[in-house]
Amino acid sequence: MFDTYTSLDDSNHSQPRVTALLACHNNLMPVSWHMPISKSPFRYAVAVREENYTHKLLQKHRSFTLNFLPFEHYETVNLLGKIHGDSEDKLTRSGLQVEGWDNHQNLLLGASDFIYECEVCDTYENGDHTVFVVDVTKIHVNKKQSKKPMLFSGCGRYATLGQETIAEQSL
Ligand SMILES: Cc1cc2nc3c(=O)[nH]c(=O)nc-3n(C[C@H](O)[C@H](O)[C@H](O)COP(=O)(O)O)c2cc1C
């Protein structure tokens, strides 16, 4: 038995997605509309709404980092999703610790479970978002990776994994 809708807003259904903080220079923006699209070379795609300040920054700088924070930071991420970098210093508001910067002056956040350094290689204008296709040039994995990824289901709903199982590997 299903209820059927024709728009995402109307359906309001829970669709858990891994969430990251996209850092372009010192500006932090939560993103959950992103996915891997090629293994070798490792390429990734992120959808950014045109009205966001980050969209302007990405067009100018053509690079960013994706900082995958553990679940415990969901309140900070939620706050950063409500404010805009052209009117607020979001790094200061976040209180997050800076581990350093990549070669393009994009932030690396120490609390991340892992971080992707990304360089834009293509863009695709699509509906109300632009898809930024990137080469992932470096992957930083925290030695203390939490195994509690932050999942975002829309409308302020956050969750994490309850149980992780390793299935038998194919030969
Ligand atoms: C958990 C979460 C995930 C989000 N995912 C995206 C996303 O994938 N793409 C997008 O354009 N906006 C997304 N947003 C909205 C932006 O983060 C929000 O508009 C932000 O304030 C933009 O900041 P900026 O203007 O400094 O770029 C998300 C917000 C939250 C809270």
* Residue 70, domain CATH: 2.30.110.10
When pLDDT is averaged across residues 8-19 and rounded to a whole number, the result is 92
Q: Could you tell me if residue 101 is inside a domain?
A: yes
Q: pLDDT class for 11, splitting at 50, 70, 90? A: very high
Number of domains in the chain: 1
pLDDT, tens digit (0-9, with 9 covering 90-100), for 36-53? 999 999 999 999 999 999
94 touches ligand 1 (CB under 6 Å):
no
* SS3 at position 140: strand
Q: Could you tell me if residue 158 is inside a domain?
A: no
| Residue 102: domain span | 17-142
The residue among 166 and 109 whose pLDDT is bigger is 109
Output the CA 104–ligand 1 centroid distance in Å. 22
Query: Rounded CA gap, 132 and 31, in Å?
Result: 12
pLDDT value of residue 132: 98
Q: Could you tell me if residue 153 is inside a domain?
A: no
* Average pLDDT over the chain, rounded to an integer: 96
pLDDT value of residue 171: 64
Taking the complete model, does pTM exceed 0.75, yes or no? yes
* SS3 at position 77: helix
Query: Rounded CA gap, 66 and 68, in Å?
Result: 6
pLDDT value of residue 106: 98
Q: Could you tell me if residue 81 is inside a domain?
A: yes
pLDDT value of residue 164: 81
pLDDT value of residue 156: 93
Q: How far is CA 51 from the centre of its chain?
A: 17
pLDDT value of residue 43: 98
17 touches ligand 1 (CB under 6 Å):
no
Question: In a mutational test of the pocket of ligand 1, which residue from 15, 29, 60 has the highest number of ligand atoms less than 8 Å from its CB?
Answer: 29
- Type of residue found at 146: S
CA angle 75-77-79, nearest 5°? 70
Q: Could you tell me if residue 97 is inside a domain?
A: yes
The widest CA-to-CA distance across the chain, in whole angstroms, is 54
Q: Could you tell me if residue 147 is inside a domain?
A: no
Output the CA 83–ligand 1 centroid distance in Å. 9
pLDDT, tens digit (0-9, with 9 covering 90-100), for 113-171? 999 999 999 999 999 999 999 999 999 999 999 989 999 999 999 999 988 888 988 76
Q: Could you tell me if residue 49 is inside a domain?
A: yes
